[in-house]
């Protein structure tokens, strides 16, 4: 009788790693699934150690697949199989009745059509990450629910609303609109799934008829069963037309296991030792950039010399005036409120995530202002109020705000108030980007991002999360990098292909993080602004938006532009600050339309 051999397949994907173990009879005996947070080698080693209780002292053979798995194979000599080929082998050997295979992963989606006497027709998303697991994760974050809860919500929906399943960040505009309209989360979750199904079928099928039987595989289909329901409804197929695989989340890993060769077996401890040794090898690469800081001393000196400019402040108890001016920036995801005194000093500021309720959050901020004024014993009067941002019309109507102003003008007013000689303003928010060119004290031109969200705050946040770090940790890592990776300028999600290439070269997390900071600025200067000559920026650069609280991003702009950069100590509040400045200047110039001497800080219409 042949000695027992276990065959192992590992699928190292874009966001998760999966393992499947089969015995001598090709029976699946063990599976596992976990997020790798881009710690590829450590996660693979953890998965392999977990099978020791199953394999014991038996010999094992290993084959790796997945978008992040090739680097492991190149460094270790372990066999590699392309994930689509692996999935195809599973269908041919175990599920020959399948005619259409639909696979959604963390950052990609795939469709394979099987037919008699023909090679499989393989389709894969190529230029947009809409309709993938990452897209669903982003929508869950916007709804303030766990991704798994999306399926529970969707199961109880009553109506489907249109959502454009394009770039995940820009689709937030559609979802934010539904949230503002008080559409139930159940309906929004189901609408997200519907949009994913439409996006995948339109992108991948491209006119090809989806033939039963159909099998759905991948983590999103496994853990979000209502996603399958959405596909079934659009395809107009019956439950009998679906082939339900056991452990659909590990199908490519199972295919990798089935492809293992009997003559490539080694003891499991030896396999682990090989991976441990080879994982320390760093592949030489020329695709590196100048370090943000050449030494720790330079980093510490820069922090001292580039302290943000402190705006003028006054505490409420010490404020001697009676009037104040309020600016509100109602953004797509956050609300910012600023109150200035008669001399322009900052009396109060507020910043909070909207959580889908912009009016309620604005009310909470204004109420907080009233409470703090009362506690300070001040009977302040809002002389004039101005609102800007995505929710300008809504907030203006809800609170009887005196006036509204375009966001870019508010940001310009704030920057000009701090630095009258400013020549260029770059504002990078969570979902958008604005650039203002100023000549001779007047706005020369304004540029906005319109078709891509890469380079915005969500860009950094997404990658930081994928690396298992907070934004603050991410920033710290970036500043200590010695050889930042050149990751180029691409779609937020598809830039992961560059990240994976860097991981294959064993680049450090620090070098990847610093490379992403460079990419934020490159996206701004190259893709959005099309800047070919940095002299067009002038000599006094001002940056705004919470993204620039990350010092590595600010430093990248300095290095790429060759110019010093000024930032206040309230970069995320500059839209609201500028709105308050405009309100103050309108009153002082005698241009206000009305004065509210009889009104309290929070107006009762809320």
pLDDT of amino acid 466? 62
pLDDT of amino acid 597? 37
Q: Could you give the CA distance from residue 63 to residue 261 in angstroms, rounded to a whole number?
A: 9
pLDDT of amino acid 422? 95
Cβ-based neighbours of 465, under 8 Å, separated by 6 or more? none
pLDDT of amino acid 595? 40
Q: 75-116: per-residue pLDDT in tens?
A: 888 999 999 899 999 999 999 999 999 999 877 888 999 988
pLDDT of amino acid 107? 74
Dihedral in degrees, nearest 10, Cα atoms 192, 197, 199, 200: 140
Q: Which residues pair with 385 in a beta bridge?
A: 326
pLDDT of amino acid 606? 37
Find, among 328, 369, 370, 349, the residue nearest to 583 by Cα.
Answer: 328
- β pairing state of 424-428 and 541-544: parallel
568: buried, middle or exposed (CB in 10 Å: 19+, 13-18, 0-12)? buried
Q: 281-295: per-residue pLDDT in tens?
A: 655 455 788 999 999
Q: Which domains does the chain have, with CATH numbers?
A: 5-91+253-278 (3.30.420.40), 96-244 (3.30.420.40), 296-309+420-574 (3.30.420.40), 323-409+575-588 (3.30.420.40)
pLDDT of amino acid 601? 47
pLDDT of amino acid 87? 93
pLDDT of amino acid 604? 34
pLDDT of amino acid 134? 77
pLDDT of amino acid 433? 79
CA distances from residue 358 to 289, 362, 391, 606 in whole angstroms, order as listed: 41, 6, 8, 12
Quick one: tokens of 555?
């430093």
Give the chain's residues under pLDDT 50. Answer: 1, 284, 493, 593-606
CA distances from residue 184 to 145, 170, 175, 193, 474 in whole angstroms, order as listed: 13, 21, 11, 15, 35
Q: Which residues pair with 388 in a beta bridge?
A: 329
């Amino acid at each position: 009788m042949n000695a027992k051999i276990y065959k192992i397949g590992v699928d190292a994907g874009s966001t998760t790693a999966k393992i499947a173990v089969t015995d001598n009879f090709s029976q699946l005996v063990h599976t596992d699934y976990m997020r790798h947070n881009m710690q590829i080698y450590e996660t693979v080693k953890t998965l392999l150690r977990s099978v020791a209780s199953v394999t014991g002292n038996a010999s094992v053979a290993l084959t790796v697949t997945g978008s992040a798995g090739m680097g492991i194979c190149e460094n270790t000599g372990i066999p590699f199989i392309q994930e689509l080929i692996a999935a195809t082998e599973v269908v041919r050997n175990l599920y020959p009745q399948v005619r259409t295979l639909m696979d959604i992963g963390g950052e990609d989606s795939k469709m394979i059509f099987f037919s008699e006497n023909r090679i499989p027709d393989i389709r894969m998303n190529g230029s947009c990450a809409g309709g993938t697991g990452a897209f669903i994760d982003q929508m869950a974050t916007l709804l303030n629910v766990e991704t798994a809860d999306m399926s529970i919500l969707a199961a109880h929906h009553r109506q489907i609303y249109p959502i454009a399943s394009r770039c995940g960040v820009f689709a937030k505009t559609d979802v934010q609109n539904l949230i503002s309209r008080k559409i139930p989360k159940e309906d929004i979750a189901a609408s997200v799934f519907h949009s994913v199904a439409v996006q995948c079928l339109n992108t991948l099928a491209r006119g090809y008829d989806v033939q039963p039987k159909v099998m759905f595989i991948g983590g999103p289909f496994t853990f979000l069963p209502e996603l399958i329901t959405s596909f079934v409804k659009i395809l107009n197929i019956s439950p009998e037309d679906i082939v339900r695989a056991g452990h659909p989340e590990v199908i490519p890993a199972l295919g990798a296991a089935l492809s293992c060769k009997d003559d490539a077996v080694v003891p499991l401890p030896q396999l682990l030792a090989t991976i441990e040794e080879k994982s320390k090898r760093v592949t030489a690469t020329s695709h590196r950039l100048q370090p943000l800081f050449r030494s720790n001393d330079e980093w510490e000196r820069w922090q001292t010399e580039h302290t943000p400019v402190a705006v003028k402040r006054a505490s409420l108890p010490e404020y001697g005036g009676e009037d104040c001016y309020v600016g509100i920036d109602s953004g797509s995801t956050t609300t910012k409120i600023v109150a200035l005194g008669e001399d322009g000093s900052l009396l109060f500021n507020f910043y909070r995530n909207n959580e889908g309720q912009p009016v309620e959050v604005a009310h909470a901020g204004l109420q907080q202002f009233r409470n703090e004024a009362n506690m300070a014993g001040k009977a302040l009067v809002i002389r004039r109020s101005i609102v800007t941002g995505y929710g300008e019309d809504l907030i203006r109507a809800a609170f009887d705000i005196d006036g509204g102003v375009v966001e870019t003008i508010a940001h310009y007013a704030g920057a000009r108030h701090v630095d009258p000689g400013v020549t260029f303003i770059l504002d990078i928010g969570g979902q958008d980007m604005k650039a203002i060119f100023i000549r001779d004290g007047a706005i020369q031109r304004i540029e906005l991002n319109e078709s891509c969200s890469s380079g915005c705050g969500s860009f950094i946040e997404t990658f930081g999360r994928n690396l298992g770090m907070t934004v603050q940790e991410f920033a710290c890592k970036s500043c200590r990098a010695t050889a930042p990776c050149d990751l180029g300028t691409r779609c937020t999600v598809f830039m992961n292909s560059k990240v994976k290439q860097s991981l294959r070269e064993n680049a450090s997390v620090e070098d990847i993080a610093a490379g992403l900071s460079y990419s934020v600025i490159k996206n701004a200067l190259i893709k959005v602004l099309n800047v070919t000559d940095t002299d067009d920026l002038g000599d006094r650069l001002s940056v705004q938006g919470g993204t620039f609280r990350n010092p590595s991003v600010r430093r990248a702009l300095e290095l790429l532009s060759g110019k010093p950069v000024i930032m206040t100590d309230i970069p995320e509040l500059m839209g609201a600050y500028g709105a308050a400045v405009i309100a103050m200047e309108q009153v002082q110039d005698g241009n206000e339309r009305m004065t509210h001497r009889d009104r309290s800080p929070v107006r009762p219409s809320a």
